[in-house]
Amino acid sequence: MAQVLEFKLPDLGEGLTEAEIVRWLVQVGDVVAVDQPVVEVETAKASVEVPCPYGGVVTARYGEEGAELPVGAPLLTVAVGEPDGKSTAGSGNVLVGYGTSESPGRRRRVRPVALTGGGASGNGASGARAAVNGTKAASPGVNGTAAAPVSSLPATALPSDGPVPVISPLVRRLAREGGLDLRRLAGSGPDGLILRADVERALRAGAGQGSGRTAEAPVAAMPVQAVASASASASVPGEVRVPLKGIRGAVADKLSRSRREIPDATCWVDADATELMRARAAMNAAGGTKISLVALLARICAAALARFPELNSSVDTEAREIVQHPYVHLGFAAQTERGLVVPVVRDAHTRDAESLTGEFARLTEAARAGTLTPGELTGGTFTLNNYGVFGVDGSTPIVNHPEAAMLGVGRIVPKPWVHEGELAVRQVVQLSLTFDHRVCDGGTAGGFLRYVADCVEQPAVLLRTL
C-alpha cells in the first residue's frame, strides 16, 4: 500500500534558518529516485540543490519559486510503496555536507479534525495536520496553498503558557506588527508549525471581519500588505526598492555586525612590487602551472601570520578571550553576479604557490557558478582582499567578522620611485591592513604590514621560511 511521506526543508548547516526557492527540479506527478535533487534553493551562503531522501511519486509541492521557507517547513510530499513491510524512512542523506540528519523516525498518525469555517484540501496528499495541544489546521494543497483560510481561533485554542510553534523570526515580526496573538492561531505547517502564510491569512481575515479587533488598535486590523508597505507609501515616484535577502542580506548583516562589535583600525604603506612581478614572470617562464599573483600574495600572508599570530585570531566575547588559531584558513574576496562572497582556502599555510593557484581558481569558478558549499564560505581566519582588480589604489575594508584582520591590495601601476638612490619608474602597489584593535596594538599591525611590504619588494626574503 502506498504511503505519503513529507519531505521538509533540511537543516542546511552553518546556522542558516531559511532558504529561498530558486527553481523546482520536479513537477507534481514526477517519479523521483532516492537522493535525487528536487529543488534548488538559495541561502545566505550559496545556492544548493536539495536531494529528497524518498523515492516515489511527487504528490504535492509547497512554495512557489521566489518564496522563502524556514528550516523544517514542508517542501514536498512523495507517495512511496512499502513492499514486504520494509521501512520507508528514506536514505537519511538529506543534504550531504549541509547538516545531514539521521533518517526520520515513523510518526504517529492522528485522525484529522475539521476546523470551523475551513476544511482539508481535497487532494488527499497530506490531509489535516496535528497542531500544538491537539488543535488542527487545514492542509496545503498541491500548489502549497491551503484550500480554506485559517482564521484566528478562540482564546482557549492554546494555553496562555507553553511554547508557541513558530520558527521564523519573520513570522513573529509580522504577527507583532499586525497585532496578532499567535496563541490564537493554529498553524498549517508540520506539527502545527505557524508559517508566514498562516499569519497573512489571519490578518486578512481579521481585516475583513472587523469584529475581532477593537477601535483602540486600528493597526491590528490592517492586512499584512498594508503594514509592510507603510514605509513604502512615502516613497518618491521612480524609487527602486531592493529587498535585502539572500547573499545581499547576509553581507549586510555581517558587515553591520562587524562595525558594531569590532573596534577596527587601518594602516597602509606603498611598496615597490617590481621584483615580485619579475619573480612571477620567471616562475611562469619555467613552464608548468602559471602562478597567479594572488597566490604569491597569499604565500606572503601565511609567512607574515606565522611571525605575527595575533592577527590570525578571533575574539570570544563571552569568555573574554582572544583565540589564536594554529592554522591559516585564508579567505579572499570574490565579486560575483550574485554579490560579494568570501571563499576560504583551507590550510593555506601548508600550500605552495602552485597549490594555492589551483585552489584559488577552483573556488573562484565555483563562486561565479554559485555552487560554493557553506563549508567553503565559512571558517576563515584571515582575509586577503585584492581590490586592485577594480582599478583602485587603496581602501579601508571592513573586517570579515569574526576574523581579526584583512589585508587589502590595490592596483599595481608604474609610478616614479627612488630606487638605489635614483629616480626610476617602478611597479608600485598600496597595501592596507585593517585589524581588530582588541587583539593587538599598532606595533604588531605595523610589523605585520612592514614584513608583507618587504616580501613584496624583495621576494627572496621568503626563502628564509621555505
Taking residue 93's Cβ as centre, other Cβ atoms within 10 Å add up to: 15
- Bridge partners of 52? 36
CA-nearest of 65, 68, 74, 59 to 6 is 74
Per-residue 3-state assignment (H helix, E strand, C coil) for the chain:
CCEEEEEECCCCCCCCCEEEEEEECCCCCCEECCCEEEEEEECCCCEEEEEECCCEEEEEECCCCCCEEECCCEEEEEEECCHHHCCCCCCCCCCCCCCCCCCCCCCCCCCCCCECCECCCCCCCCCCEECHHHCEECCECCCCCECCCCCCCCCCCCCCCCCCCCCCHHHHHHHHHCCCCHHHCCCCCHHHCCCHHHHHHHHHHHHHHCCCCCCCCHHHHCCHHHHHCCCHHHCCCCCCCCCCCHHHHHHHHHHHHHHHHCCEEEEEEEEECHHHHHHHHHHHHCCCCCCCHHHHHHHHHHHHHHHCHHHCEEEECCCCEEEECCCCCEEECEEECCEEECCEECCHHHCCHHHHHHHHHHHHHHHHHCCCCHHHCCCCCEEEECHHHHCCCCCCCCCCCCCCEEEEECCCEEEEEEECCEEEEEEEEEEEEEEECCCCCHHHHHHHHHHHHHHHHCHHHHHHHC
CA-nearest of 90, 70, 97, 72 to 10 is 72
Q: Which positions are annotated as active-site residues?
A: 437
State which amino acid sits at residue 447.
G
Alpha carbon 411 to its chain's center: 30
- Calculate the alpha carbon distances from 175 to 52, 109, 160, 170, 196 in Å: 32, 30, 17, 9, 9
| C-alpha grid cell, residue 97 | 555536507
